[in-house]
Structure 1
Amino acid sequence: MNNQPLLSIITPTLGKFSDYWLENLLKIEGSVQFVLVYPPNVKIKAIDDPRVTAIVSPYKGEMPQRFVGLLNAQGKYILALDDDDYVHPQVCSAVEKYFHRFPESWVLRLQKLNIDMKDEVRIKQAWEEIPDVDQLEICKKTPENPYPYNQGNFQGLLEVPIAPLDKNFDWRYLFWPFINRTDNNGYHFENFNNIVWRNDIIQQALPELSQATKVLGAVTWIPSSGFDRLSGLFVQANLFEKDAIIGHWMPKPEQIRYIDKDPALKPPRFHVISDVLLVKHFPKYGYLWNLVFSKLYGVPRTVGKVMKLKLGKTPQK
């Protein structure tokens, strides 16, 4: 593709993002495309920047908006970002260096810092310089020492393994769903957002992912379910290779600032629905069955939250 951008940053939005967030998004340097995906019947904000592509999804909801954004990503690499989270302005330089050094990697996992939405001082703090990817040593995961570092406490590029989807199903979930999972321990990940992906890997998975969402004939999309974990695990299951190293995790300081909200301010989402889609499409992977059963206990809680919203007792986002 001529003039192909290096990185596409995809953001589903209702158009309620702050001027400060937009100002900082547009400070990102280098070859970047910003894809803002709106639901139908929402006024699109006028943004005077040729790097911005504004799209209206045919359906409202997280899943269709994110999917439409991925379909329209022109960059060699993709980063999914919410419209209240921040990314380092020099991220493109780190991405370019990383994939030049590791062209076969699927992902570059950025270092993420969770910040309370009320902590404006930390949110607006100046970014520290990103470590030079070319100079970073490789922190390896070995069978003898599978978890060689505490969470986030490493100085080099930490190897990221594929999710261990071939784990056996824990039959205890059939009798007691509150058992703590252990198969999700380690440096693999489940979610899609805030991680830089190779676009060719994503485009390869999208047609099959689209088919997987068709559950009841005419019902093509499930707007109330979460696309983040569904897409992250779907891509890994689609090209699963046991114990494969699919990328690396950047060390501190952070390159992503994830704004954490009070759960009461978040809209209810039946994430277990999208988890069931994973099991439906990849029934042979015990890891996915463990995920579904471990999340079932949250369904009554989500139903209760929906009822409270309808009664006007809980403020919406």
Structure 2
Amino acid sequence: MTNPQLSIIIPMREGVQDSWLQELLKVQGSTEFILVYPPHVPFIAISDPRLRQITSSLRGELIQRVTALLNASGKYVLSINCDEYLHTNILEIAEDYFTNFPDSYFFRLNQVQFPFNKAPIDKPWDSLPNIQNIAVRKHKDSKNYSPEEIEYTMREIPIAPLNNKLDFLALFRGRKDQKGPHQENFDKKVWKNELVQEALKGVITKLTLFGPIKYIPFWVSDRLMGLSVQARFFEPEKIVGHWLPLPEQLRTEDNPPHQREKDRRYELADFPLLRQFPGFGYIWNLAVFDKGGFLMVWYPRYTLRKIAEKLGLKKPNIYD
């Protein structure tokens, strides 16, 4: 078998309907689908030569997604969730994009959100114009475009400003350097897999603390992988990708009511990132000096307040 052009990787959970996978498998072209399940969750009973279903050694978004990435053999790789639907011509769009922007690391899909059970599964996908015919707006000039122009133009995405200086005041007022046109996250983007696999080597080694002892947070591979690739191949002020315009290429359905997002300690997943790249001030600001960063997990007042909220002694702060 020859390697596929595109690997689509998905961490699975309980209760995913067969109909979702049937829709996803309508994606055309040289594509593989890698679904990674937590332990003891049965595979969806659908057979397709492009489909690979794997059971992860542990439950957790990070370990399931990393397991999928380690098995991805495509030229390009895209990470989505098991409640999302892809444009059937996503591979054609990817090949068109990288032909026109061969130096990019990734491009971001245009995403439309729908309430639970309201995703228009049967709605045909509209065709995207050829990439060379889509106007590109400079990330510094976005304010000069009307809302209509923004929807149908392609925005530049610069690399994260990882060489920013340490910001100790972020411990008291929160970060500021995350604001701007750059992006930290990995998901919803089609990446060059050769860059991802090289960055993945660093991620995997830093999950080992010593000997057989490993540190694998439940969340969040999204920021860890997105910043790992950008840090591994860092070039100041480089344009690393573009955000595609409408019509959408990704449709996302909200989580079921019983699976709403709860208090996720995302900052705990930044520790492997800091171990990989201790020389970048941006990563220190993110992982340690942010008002909600790793240091704050052990900050007595913050910790005591969270314990009081868990015990029902204090009303949770919905803006935390």
Equivalences, count: 301
After superposition, the Cα gap between the structure-2 partners of 1:74 and 1:182, relative to the gap in structure 1 and judged at 3 Å, is same
Alignment partner of 1:252 out of 220, 241, 246: 246
- Shift in alpha-carbon separation, 1:100–1:305, aligned structure 2, 3 A: farther
2:157 equivalent among 148, 160, 173: 160
Alpha-carbon distance in 2 for matches of 1:51, 1:302 = 49
How far did residue 289 of structure 1 move? 2.2
Q: What does 1:262-273 align with in structure 2 at a 5 Å threshold?
A: 265-273=260-268
* CA displacement, residues 49-88 of structure 1 (integer Å, 9 cap, x when unaligned): 1110111222222222111111111111000011111211
Q: CA deviation at 1:182?
A: 2.8
Alignment match of 1:243 (pick from 210, 213, 237):
237
Do 1:9 and 1:81's aligned partners in 2 also have CA atoms closer than 8 Å?
A: yes
Which residue type is aligned with residue 158 of structure 2? P
The verdict on how the C-alpha distance between 1:216 and 1:272 changes in structure 2, with shifts beyond 3 A counting, is farther
| Structure 1: distance between partners of 2:48 and 2:207 | 34
Unmatched 5+ stretches in structure 1: 309-317
Superposed displacement of residue 193, structure 1? 0.7
Alignment match, 1:138:
136
Runs of 4+ in 1 over 6 A off after TM superposition: none
- Structure 1's 221 and 126: CA in aligned 2 closer, same or farther, altered over 3 A? farther
Please, which moves more after superposition, 34-43 or 260-269? 260-269
CA deviation profile, 1:112-147 (whole Å, cap 9, x unmatched):
2233325x15566443322322321322235xx476
**In the alignment, which residue of structure 2 is the partner of 1:44?**
43
Which residue pairs with 1:16 in the alignment? 15
In the alignment, structure 2 segments of 5+ residues that lack a partner are 312-320
Please report how far the alpha carbon of residue 107 of structure 1 lies from its aligned counterpart in structure 2 after TM superposition. Answer: 0.3
Instruction: Call closer, same or farther: CA 1:44–1:230 in 2, change over 3 Å.
Output: same
CA distance in structure 2 between the partners assigned to 1:150 and 1:168 by the alignment? 34
Structure-to-structure mapping, 1:196-275, within 5 angstroms: 196-215=190-209, 217-261=211-255, 265-275=260-270
Q: How big is the shift at 1:285?
A: 1.7
In 2, Cα distance between the equivalents of 1:248 and 1:19?
Answer: 33
SS state of the match for residue 208, structure 2?
A: coil
Structure 2 Cα separation of the partners of residues 301 and 97 of structure 1:
53
Q: Which amino acid aligns with 2:70?
A: L
Check the 8 A contact 1:11/1:37 in 2, yes or no: yes
3-state SS, counterpart of residue 171 of structure 1: coil
1:257 CA drift (Å): 1.9
Contact 1:79-1:196 at 8 Å conserved across structures: yes
Q: Secondary structure at the match of 1:164?
A: coil
Aligned to 1:75: 74
Distance 1:268 1:8, change over 3 A: same
**Alpha-carbon distance between aligned partners in 2 of 1:127 and 1:302, rounded to the nearest angstrom:** 48
Q: Which moved more, 1:277-286 or 1:288-297?
A: 288-297
Cα offset, 1:260, TM superposition: 3.3
The answer for the alignment partner of 1:279 in structure 2 is: 274
Letter in structure 1 aligned against 2:202: E
State the one-letter code of the partner of 2:241.
Answer: G
Q: What SS is found at the alignment partner of 2:248?
A: coil
State the 1:170 CA deviation: 2.0
**Per-residue CA distance 1:291-316 (angstroms, 9 max, x = gap):** 232323688599669958xxxxxxxx
Q: 1:265 to 1:251 in 2, by over 3 A?
A: same
Q: Indicate the SS of the match to 1:153.
A: helix
Q: Percent identity?
A: 37
State how far apart, in whole Å, the 2-side matches of 1:148 and 1:304 are. Answer: 47
**Cα displacement (A) at 1:212:** 1.6
The 3 A distance-change label for structure 1 pair 305 and 266 is farther
Partner letter of residue 281 of structure 1? Q
| CA positional deviation for 1:48 | 1.6
Q: What is the CA distance between 1:198 and its match in structure 2?
A: 0.4
* Structure 1 residues 58 and 227: CA distance shift in structure 2, 3 A: same
CA 1:183–1:112 in structure 2 vs 1: closer, same or farther (change >3 Å)?
same
TM-score, normalising length: structure 2:
0.83
Q: Deviations over 1:207-256 (max 9, x none)?
A: 11101222354332424231111111111111111101112110112211
